[in-house]
Amino acid sequence: MCAQLGLRSTAVVVGVQHRACHLALDSGPLLLLSTPDVPLAPNGVRLDLAPAVTLAEVGVRVGQTVMLASGARGEATDDSRGLADRGDADWLVALAGVPIWEPRPRVRPMALGDLDARLAITRAIALADGAAESLLPLLWPLLWASEADPAVLPSGMVRLALEPARRLSEAAARGDAEQVAGAAGRLAGLGPGLTPSGDDFLAGFAAAWTLVGQSLGCDGAGRRRVTHALVSGARAGASLLGRAWIEHAVRGELPEPMTRFAAALFAAEARDLGPAARTMLAVGASSGTDWTVGFLLGAAALAG
């Protein structure tokens, strides 16, 4: 991401959380600035601030302008030393020296049986340790049966997600781009939060079609039709951050915990898979669980 910014870029703060803020760059992409205790996102930059300090306490506000430029450290500053270089911007963020990491995990070719065994382990861990208030029930086999009683569905959000999730899986398996887009549109923006559950689910589904498909050697053109249709369908309804993460997932670019999980999933030995899956599930209130559900259902649709 830093390499894409060039020597100097400007942005506007469009969202502020306790430990992260979202910048809309003049060039188009969404960039996250976060404190050191927040896992890096594929579009994230870690600031050199004390972990206990929130960005709101520092003074970051929606609507402020930010200058991103090469400098000595990856820190935000409003002191007078930066005024001459930052022009009319409220903040100067120096990018030189910020942590550099690779959001695209290495994907190793695997036999379907070996991969299925590791995905089964991940599914079991998710069912045991996933967030209760999430789309986790979509992993219950009973819900996918045609005779399933709607009364057993545990929440309104799961009820709303079940039919489009089923349609997305079936359409993706058939390569039906139109149906994929329609189902993605119904899932995008579903649920509360900065990244609604539906957005996280779609990001996980797209990541599976990109990474698992690559590992299994599936048809690249066919997979791209599905993922491009998913992005197109989700664009209108997804949150700003959710849309960015879905687009990154299509390119195989994941948040830090998901990258570690994918690295363990495709590793020569699966000894780190359990700890990596549990760390992934712990992301946010339900984001890690919803992403994992999407990934597992996406992988099943791809392999089925």
Pair (165, 258) in one structural domain: yes
Q: Residue ranges of the alpha helices (H) in 98-190?
A: 112-129, 156-174, 177-187
CATH number at residue 32: 2.40.50
pLDDT along the chain (304 residues), means of 10: 60 87 82 85 82 80 86 44 54 78 92 95 97 93 66 79 95 97 98 90 98 94 96 96 94 96 95 96 95 97 85
**Paired strand residues for 9:** 68
Domain boundary among 62, 94, 126: 94
Expressed in angstroms, the distance from the first to the final Cα of the chain is 35
Residues 233-267 pLDDT 10s: 999 999 989 999 999 999 999 999 999 999 999 99
- Using CA atoms, how far residue 24 sits from 49, 66, 155, in Å, is 21, 10, 34
Pair (54, 142) in one structural domain: no
Q: Give pLDDT, residue 232.
A: 97
Pair (180, 287) in one structural domain: yes
Question: What CA–CA distance (Å, rounded) separates 115 from 289?
Answer: 20
Q: How many domains does the chain have?
A: 2
Its domain, for residue 194, covers 112-303
Chain mean position to CA 203: 5
Pair (159, 265) in one structural domain: yes
Question: What CA–CA distance (Å, rounded) separates 143 from 137?
Answer: 8
Q: Give pLDDT, residue 7.
A: 56
Q: Give pLDDT, residue 93.
A: 84
